[in-house]
Structure 1
Amino acid sequence: MTHDKSSISNVSFFQRYQLVFVFLIAFFVVEIPFISIPLKWFESYFHELSHGLAALITGGSIVSIQLNIDGSGLCTTQGGSRLLISFMGYAGASLFGYGLVRVSTMHQTVTKVFIGALSFVIATSLVLWAKDILTIGIILFLLMFVTLKLFYFKKAYLPFLFQLTGATVVLNSIKSPLYLFDGRSLGDGATLAQLTFMPEFVWVVIWCALGMMTAYLLIKSHLSRQY
């Protein structure tokens, strides 16, 4: 395959490596107190939602989703596969982060379908599973942010905001599993260790690897579109 050299040269250095810069910005933003909290809400929501969806897919049900102001959360489920439910929290967050980044550059029609479907899922979780005022407020904030893409998709700043949000979700899905090394044998890693007899350390490595692979695939895909 041959490339048009003139078209390649017209792509600026920033445009070519834009997503790399976005991930670098996200890396520092997630460490800034207060500013990082709304971005952590996305990762926490997608983490808990992934638990819930795994329960639904495997024949269980969602009792409630709870989100806290500090970015932590809890999804209470009944039935379903404990193994898949426990595994999908961090893995699902990586997938949702991937989707948020990719939707920023998708064709307009595909973008509207994706955002419409995501908005429906968020609205459903708000109506059915948000039981306390704080969780309702946080999910409302997330829903309003996502629907901005539907009504203001032509705004130049929205792709960057979605890329930044998706990048922080991916980075948090890499960083968050490391907190399981607290010596308390609590959380998804401990549950999986009990179910599979594989050490918690192995599951943390798998989740971190999935997050890093997600970031790599996003950046690789972006760079390939510049040539």
Structure 2
Amino acid sequence: MDLPTRRTTMSVPPRSIDWRIVLASIVTIGVALLFWGSPFLLPLKLFVVLLHEMSHALAAWLTGGAVERLIVTADEGGLAFTRGGNRFLISSAGYLGSLIWGVVLMQLSLARPARRRVALRMLALLLALAVILSVRDPFTLAMVGATVAAALLLARYGPPRWQQIVLWLIGSFSALYAIIDIGTDILSRGPLAGVPFFGTVTFQNDAEILAAETFVPAFVWGLLWITLALAVYLWNLRQLATRR
């Protein structure tokens, strides 16, 4: 996947389509849909689960709450134990935070090499802070530690094209996680329960926590989130695939 670097140039017609971005997007979406349940994508999915839980944690900290601990499990589960703060924003921050992470990282994948290196180092710093402040269990510690080391090594020694591809993949899968996981974890409990792809799940999810706070059904929150996530994801792809 050979992605371009965004540059401003007078010779490029406004709003021209960059078909490399279109192709990269189609390939990424296809891989996600075909192999979402495959062990092939497990490392990437564990990382985006971590971003999801970190989004809950950031919302708690920003609204005056505290984070007791973050957990990511080998079966792609995750928990953020928070205390205080704004429950509405904390519960909403998981999937919407995953979407924001995805959009930002996809945009940074097309930035100049120096900005990509800064992005990788900042990501490593944020993960390290999460470890210091809220990670206690061995699996999450090992996973985050390995990710921090990989991000720093990639920023220092990785070829610019590798940095670009890694940021693109992490960003794309984080944004797609916000879409696909809403379907499998939330919409599966409403009228779509038992429908192929949506399936049926039994654990409590973010929308059910929010439903208990607002008395708005979890299925409605799921529809709102997935509509917003799809709109933002498609808008982002349009921005990336066109040049001024």
Provide the residue aligned with 1:24 in structure 2.
29
**Greater CA drift, 25-34 or 69-78:** 25-34
Using the TM superposition, give the Cα deviation of residue 200 of structure 1 relative to its aligned residue in structure 2, in angstroms: 1.0
The 8 Å contact of residues 102 and 171 in structure 2, kept in 1 or not, is answered as yes
SS at match of 2:40: coil
In 2, are the aligned partners of 1:94 and 1:210 still within 8 Å (CA)? no
The answer as to whether partners of 1:26 and 1:167 remain within 8 angstroms in 2 is no
- Who is 1:189 aligned against? 207
Q: Are 1:199 and 2:204 counterparts?
A: no
Gaps of 5+ in 2: 1-9, 191-201
- Counterpart check, 1:213 vs 2:218: no
Residue 166 (structure 2) aligns with: 161
Q: 2:55 aligns with which of 28, 50, 56?
A: 50
Deviation by residue 1:73-104 (Cα, 9 ceiling, x = unmatched): 10101111111110101100111111221211
Pairs aligned (count): 221
Q: Retained in 1: the 8 A contact 2:107–2:240? A: no
RMSD (Å) for aligned C-alpha atoms: 2.6
Residue 86 of structure 2 corresponds to residue 81 of structure 1: yes
Amino acid corresponding to residue 115 of structure 1 in structure 2: L
Q: Secondary structure at the match of 1:144?
A: helix
- Structure 2 partner of 1:102: 107
The Cα shift of 1:150 comes to 1.7
Q: Residue 124 of structure 2 contacts residue 148 of structure 2 at CA under 8 Å; is this kept in 1?
A: yes
Quick one: distance in 1 between partners of 2:35 and 2:241? Answer: 24
Question: Using a 3 Å threshold, how does the CA distance of structure 1 residues 101 and 16 change in structure 2: closer, same or farther?
Answer: closer
Instruction: Call closer, same or farther: CA 1:140–1:103 in 2, change over 3 Å.
Output: same
Q: Compared with structure 1, are the counterparts of its residues 185 and 140 closer, same or farther at alpha carbon in structure 2 (3 Å cutoff)?
A: closer
Give unmatched runs, 5+ long, in structure 1. none
Residues 116 and 164, structure 2, Cα contact 8 Å, conserved in 1: no
Instruction: Tell me the alpha carbon deviations over residues 41-69 of structure 1, each in whole angstroms, 9 at most, x when there is no partner.
Output: 12210111011111101111110000101
Aligned-partner SS, 1:36: helix
Question: Normalized against structure 1, the TM-score is what?
Answer: 0.85
With over 3 angstroms needed to count, the CA separation of the structure-2 counterparts of 1:185 and 1:75, relative to structure 1, is closer
Describe the shift of the 1:91–1:212 C-alpha distance in structure 2 as closer, same or farther (beyond 3 A). Answer: same
